[in-house]
Amino acid sequence: MTYRAPIKDMLFVMKELAGIDAVARLPGHEEAGYDTAAAVLEECAKFNEGVVAPLNQPGDQQPSSFHDGKVTTSPGFKAAFRQFVEGGWQGLQHPLEYGGQGLPKLIHSACAEMVDSASLSFALCPLLTDGAIEALITAGSDEQKAAYIPKMIDGSWTGSMNLTEPQAGSDLSLVRTRAEPQADGSYKLFGTKIFITYGEHDMADNIVHLVLARVAGAPEGVKGISLFICPKVLADGTRNDVHCVSIEHKLGIKASPTAVLQYGDHGGAVAYLVGQENRGLEYMFVMMNAARYGVGLQGIALAERAYQQAAAYARERVQSRPVDGSLPKAAPIIHHPDVRRMLMTMRAQTEACRALAYVAAAAYDAAHVHADAAVRAQNQSFYEFLVPLVKGLSTEMALDVASLGVQVHGGMGFIEETGAAQHLRDAKILTIYEGTTAIQANDLVGRKTARDGGATARAVAAQIAATVDELEARGSAACRSMARRLDAGCKALLEVVDYVVREGKGHPNAVFAGSVPYLMLAATVVAGWQMARALLAAETRLAAGDEPAFMRAKIATARFYAEHILVKAGPWRDSIVEGAESVMALEPDAF
């Protein structure tokens, strides 16, 4: 099934919710308004629909392969990557001074969603490279920036992120890879890194590994971790002592090579310190946050593709007469109420998460370049609050949507040839890598709620309450329905924020037992707020006669979100505030 980029919805969200016109008033983004966004998205859609999307299913059937220390990517990937970088897509959001295009994250996010939808396995290489570029822009020296960033932007080199070790997964305090200082100021690395996405491949001349390691004598735990650049090929053209010893056989994203890398088996891998010793985790968090947001986009992208495929199948598959007798014989299954419920669930959740992510991207842009320091700080807090919501909700949603996509296909969905099963397999990793859903939830509880006493969460809730007032003033049936559910969701959210702040120190098990439900509650309500804003905008534009069919669909989708998804807020509140004791009731030996 072919992929068609949802440009109309992307542009609607960018204009009405994320405020592309306001982004275009930011310093350095003056040329990046709506018209620029529309032109860029059109070109990006052509490339991904025509070049990348056709590689998705063949890549699943012919994964990357490993032989004699070398990785060969799936057929067509190398040529497509060359077209990708030659088209300027790798440098879209990166600074002009390094060969990028300097466009805002808002525009880049829509383009990233397209390549993710086209082929998630393919898209992972540019995603990791983007993160490496951002980390070096933040913490690299001028010489490091000049040496590495232009090469990554032009696609000669790619980037990878090396955190995980066999004994150190999410707990990076256990990292053992060691770095030994050398007389010339460089270091030599020794150790093993696992789960390294595109840690070895044949699509570029060099790979810039960003590696967490520990210098001798460093403090224990995360305070003693440093960040290093370790290129696969050194400046003099010699091969560095970092080698791929295997790649993983996976449930999904099979075309993306996930490498086990061995450092220092032949004397030590030459590496260069980024920033200061023992501040590596701080620097790597830049890359990790970029990747977490990017994985949220992957969830939206996968859900979009699963939805498109399911809707197309439902229009074609003939099965049974409609229950209301509206047709005299068997009809396409899209006429059946439960199929419509599934398709609406897929559509509403995908659109809500897209709105959430694009609004976050616009906040990122304002946080980085707005002229007013207070506005920058406010947007930074808002963006940081949204990142775990984008990552957590969008990836869990993608799994649900991909599963519904299989269900819409019925028995044919269980057959690999249709492609629906691939979306489900690919989606599972999204809730795991770059921090599991629980890790995002712990971040939301600890850093984003308890640390500031719930101030940011309450500020968001105040904005939601203002939107509820607008809905009630409008008074249409859809607005009344949305107002009722959004108001209830906002109140449930505030009750949980109060609970987290009140109980966090004294009863941490109770709070963290409900951390994932809190994440889902907060994200669903904040995404519902964006759907409410979309509803208001769509009603205004419909009244003006602007694209009536599209606007009516936006209104119907927003109302469905209110009546079928936002209504989960109350039960989540109950399980968080009242259900902690039962989570921990059984002793470990009873399981």
The catalytic position among 16, 134, 304, 434 is 434
Q: Which has the closest alpha carbon to 460: 488, 490, 440? A: 490
Q: 3-state SS of 116-130?
A: HHHCHHHHHHHHHHH
Neighbours of 507 (CB within 10 A): 13
Active site residue 434: yes
Question: What would the 3-class secondary structure string for 63-125 be?
Answer: CCEEECCEEECCCCHHHHHHHHHHCCCCCCCCCHHHCCCCCCHHHHHHHHHHHHHHCHHHHHH
β-strand pairing of 206-215 with 178-181: parallel
Identify the bridge partners of residue 550 per DSSP, sorted by sequence position: none
Please list, residue by residue across 207-237, b when 16 or more beta carbons sit within 10 angstroms of its beta carbon and e when fewer do. bbbbbbbbbeebeeebebbbbbbbbbeeeee
Question: Residue 161 in 3-state DSSP?
Answer: strand
Residue type, 230: C
CA distances for 274 relative to 145, 173, 393, 589, angstroms:
10, 19, 33, 45
- What are the C-alpha distances in Å from 1 to residues 110, 261, 308, 417, 541? 21, 36, 9, 11, 32
Do 275 and 139 meet the contact criterion of CB atoms below 8 Å apart? yes
Residues 6 or more apart whose CB falls under 8 angstroms from that of 140 comprise: 148, 149, 229, 274, 275
HSE-CB of 26 using CA atoms within 13 angstroms: 28
Give the closest residue to 77 by CA, choosing from 69, 94, 92, 65. Answer: 65
* Whole-number Å distance between alpha carbons of 165 and 264: 15
- Residue whose C-alpha is closest to residue 189's, from 268, 112, 106, 247: 268
Rounded distance between C-alpha atoms, residue 296 and residue 507, angstroms: 30
> What residues act catalytically?
434
